Structure 1
Amino acid sequence: MANFQVYLATLLLLVSISKFQLQVVALEPIPHFKSEPEILQGSIVRLINGNPKAGWKAAMSARFSNYTVGQFKYLLGVKPTPLRDLKSIPVRTHPKGANTFTSSVSSTVIIVPIKDQGHCGSCWAFGAVESLSDRFCIHFGMNISLSVNDLLACCGFMCGGGCDGGYPIYAWNYFVQNGVVAEECDPYFDNSGCSHPGCEPAYPTPMCERKCVKENLLWTESKHFSVNAYRIDSDPYNIMAEVYKNGPVEVSFTVYEDFAHYKSGVYKHMTGDVMGGHAVKLIGWGTTDDGNDYWLLANQWNRSWGDDGYFMIRRGSNECGIEEDVVAGTPSSRNLIKKFGNVDAFRDVSA
């Protein structure tokens, strides 16, 4: 009996010590995504570059050096539009006439350079804002870069979850209802050089302050609007006609593991699991010398990724869903006339 009591007391002591140790361990912060594998894999690079029929080249991109799969997935912030809402969104088509489109690249009118979304899942906002910025250049001859931060921070639940992802078409609705200020009024990067938002480790969505960082700029007067928000029919002709007539559009598509390794050529999915939905700016199209039709797009993963920040993807086969979720809007002269008082100066130069 005495031995049993000693055994029981020892057991209780060990349990107490174990609980104490667990409590101490629980107080230590758990590094975000630390235990996950890295997104860049040499085996994927070898598989792509060793296949002469791949049509594109892969590399270990410096942009994602030491990124885990979880960190990479976080950048893919497109949320699918609820089916119940799709019926209320107008779909634009373009009549097929005598004009045929062979190739077109809108780079002659693009004034927004390749950006970097940092660690934030803000691709849905970048694709929308950069497309609208270019459309202001095309339609009104304005050299302007609009603010991703305004859309990301101030659209709120209507657009989704900020750095945790959003809905591209609702971003364009925000342009119609609220407008978006210029980048110089509400910049994406803060003065410390940290990607804002998107600093380690919590990836916070910034607060909506509705105040320009420059004292001589007013928030309401810095707003630029869209007349409407619409989807473009998934027929490649309609997408080409839309870009040709009105400028770049925002597209969403499914990203697989191999896309993180893209370096050059016409991308098509070859290997790897689904990572998430991504939004970018589609600026043109063309056909390679060996007959591969492609779309040309500007990403926001810095110029260290891909072909100086750009990439091509197979056109005409809805590769990774690239042709089924295309959205845009018409830039408005609202606020421009009020600010400058000259209607003629802001007529639609693309008409």
Structure 2
Amino acid sequence: MFIIVSFAFLIQLVSSLSQDDIVNYVNRNREQGKSTWEAKKYPFSYPDSNFDHAIDRFPVKENSEFGFLTNLYQSNFRRTFLEVPDIFDARFKWSHCDTVWEIYDQGNCGSCWAVAVASAISDRICIKHPNNGSVRISAQTALNCIGEGCSSGNDPFSVWEYWVQHGLPTGGRFGDKKSCQPYRIPGKEATAAHFLSSILPSFFDNKSCPTRCILQYHKSFKNDLYFGSRAYKLPSLNTRLMKLDIMLNGPVVSVVRMSEDLRSYKSGIYHHQIGNSSRYHAVKILGWGKENGTDYWICANSWGRYWGEKGFFRIRRGVNEALIETRISGGISV
């Protein structure tokens, strides 16, 4: 007796797929009209974060902020029900904010939870204070003072809370001299330093919590701090509240479950097709849309502009793809 087993099922049994396996499978599906996205083989490996333990410490509280958020939205609009457009993109809504367009490269460091929130905070400060120009909040401070460096991991909500309770200074990319505490981990564009960080991670990964700015910066640490007034989580699976919060306050941060095929994403609207789910990964959500009948979220990743749609990606909306609609966090700037 012969048992017919699909190729997809057989390949799912493999604990770790090669990029070639994934790319060939996804792109074959695309050619057959079964996929809304295209895969690519990348020369780099992309990190996720080991914060499964931290996720368990910050359980989702259903509707815990519903009353606060409802009052917040109503205070911005006289009518109770705000019309939500079919398409929204924070990059065009707040085009004066340079940070909304920026893509970070977290390098050889499990810092996505810090980078994503620091990026979203930067956006929200500019959105609330449009006449003050763009500021870049330090992901490095969050990484050191909330976590314990690149290998620790943490829940993104802890960064929003830290911003409210302690404040966060400015911090640009690796090598920046115009901010208080710039990122210490080189990205892939810094080729030689990136290579060194892969073989000498402790040289770049400073796990202390410094309270001084770099010598080249003109402000003191205390005078450079930016604060939030409120940190909150959105109720799970409430896509309308997600949209309202993005429209009124700016990008939010989500925790997605990483699958092997997402690492090979090139373009299109992602949906899981092949490979195991590994760890969690934090991303920034900045809008939504629809293409050929498929609803999607617009997200910013932190793997550099070499990856995806110049660092951004789209993912199916309304079906909790990769758990993207489960753990959403945000905050309000002072």
Give the alignment's TM-score, normalised by structure 1. Answer: 0.74
- Please state whether the residue corresponding to 1:266 is helix, strand or coil: strand
Q: Residues 270 and 225 from structure 1, CA distance in 2 versus in 1: closer, same or farther, beyond 3 angstroms? A: same
Task: Name the structure 2 match of 1:305.
Answer: 307
Aligned partners of 2:255, 2:162: CA distance in 1, in Å? 18
Aligned partners of 1:272, 1:81: CA distance in 2, in Å? 24
AA at the equivalent of 2:37: W
Task: Name the structure 2 match of 1:224.
Answer: 226
Task: Name the structure 1 match of 2:26.
Answer: 48
Higher Cα Rg, which structure? 1
Task: Name the structure 1 match of 2:85.
Answer: 101
Task: Name the structure 1 match of 2:98.
Answer: 111
Please state if 1:262 is matched with 2:240: no
* Residue 132 of structure 1, aligned match among 113, 116, 121: 121
Summarize the alignment of residues 177-216 of structure 1 with structure 2, pairs less than 5 Å apart: 177-183=165-171, 184-189=179-184, 194=193, 199-202=198-201, 204-213=205-214, 214-216=216-218
Q: Per-residue displacement from partner, 1:206-244 (whole Å, max 9, x unpaired)?
A: 322211113521001100011011011231111011100
**Structure 1 residue 319, shift from structure 2 partner:** 0.5
Q: Residues 119 and 317 from structure 1, CA distance in 2 versus in 1: closer, same or farther, beyond 3 angstroms? A: same
Does the Cα contact within 8 Å between 2:136 and 2:170 map onto a contact in 1? yes
Task: Name the structure 1 match of 2:333.
Answer: 331
- Please state whether the residue corresponding to 1:135 is helix, strand or coil: helix
**Structure 1 residue 122, shift from structure 2 partner:** 0.5
Q: Per-residue displacement from partner, 1:61-89 (whole Å, max 9, x unpaired)?
A: 23x2xx3xxxx555465631426684896
Does the Cα contact within 8 Å between 1:77 and 1:163 map onto a contact in 2? no
Q: Which segments of 5 or more consecutive residues in structure 2 lack a partner in the other structure?
A: 1-14, 75-79, 172-178
Task: Name the structure 1 match of 2:137.
Answer: 146
Q: Residues 80 and 222 from structure 1, CA distance in 2 versus in 1: closer, same or farther, beyond 3 angstroms? A: same
Q: Residues 262 and 129 from structure 1, CA distance in 2 versus in 1: closer, same or farther, beyond 3 angstroms? A: same
**Structure 1 residue 188, shift from structure 2 partner:** 0.3
Q: Residues 310 and 107 from structure 1, CA distance in 2 versus in 1: closer, same or farther, beyond 3 angstroms? A: same
Task: Name the structure 2 match of 1:243.
Answer: 246
Task: Name the structure 2 match of 1:278.
Answer: 281
Summarize the alignment of residues 142-181 of structure 1 with structure 2, pairs less than 5 Å apart: 142-156=133-147, 163-181=151-169
Task: Name the structure 1 match of 2:293.
Answer: 291
Summarize the alignment of residues 10-25 of structure 1 with structure 2, pairs less than 5 Å apart: none
Q: Residues 87 and 298 from structure 1, CA distance in 2 versus in 1: closer, same or farther, beyond 3 angstroms? A: closer
**Structure 1 residue 101, shift from structure 2 partner:** 2.1
% identical aligned pairs: 30
Does the Cα contact within 8 Å between 2:239 and 2:318 map onto a contact in 1? yes
Aligned partners of 1:303, 1:325: CA distance in 2, in Å? 25
Aligned partners of 1:44, 1:257: CA distance in 2, in Å? 8
- Please state whether the residue corresponding to 1:253 is helix, strand or coil: strand
Aligned partners of 1:301, 1:212: CA distance in 2, in Å? 26
Aligned partners of 1:152, 1:172: CA distance in 2, in Å? 12
- Please state whether the residue corresponding to 2:126 is helix, strand or coil: helix
Aligned partners of 1:187, 1:99: CA distance in 2, in Å? 39
**Structure 1 residue 54, shift from structure 2 partner:** 1.1
Does the Cα contact within 8 Å between 1:117 and 1:301 map onto a contact in 2? yes
- Please state whether the residue corresponding to 1:50 is helix, strand or coil: helix
**Structure 1 residue 189, shift from structure 2 partner:** 3.2
- Please state whether the residue corresponding to 1:239 is helix, strand or coil: helix
- Please state whether the residue corresponding to 1:126 is helix, strand or coil: helix
Q: Per-residue displacement from partner, 1:101-129 (whole Å, max 9, x unpaired)?
A: 21100003242211100111110001111
AA at the equivalent of 2:57: P
**Structure 1 residue 308, shift from structure 2 partner:** 0.5
Please state if 1:123 is matched with 2:112: yes
- Please state whether the residue corresponding to 2:315 is helix, strand or coil: strand
AA at the equivalent of 2:155: Y
* Residue 82 of structure 1, aligned match among 29, 47, 57: 57
**Structure 1 residue 155, shift from structure 2 partner:** 2.3
Does the Cα contact within 8 Å between 1:229 and 1:329 map onto a contact in 2? yes
Aligned partners of 2:35, 2:62: CA distance in 1, in Å? 38
**Structure 1 residue 252, shift from structure 2 partner:** 0.6
Q: Which segments of 5 or more consecutive residues in structure 1 lack a partner in the other structure?
A: 1-36, 333-351
Give the alignment's TM-score, normalised by structure 2. Answer: 0.78
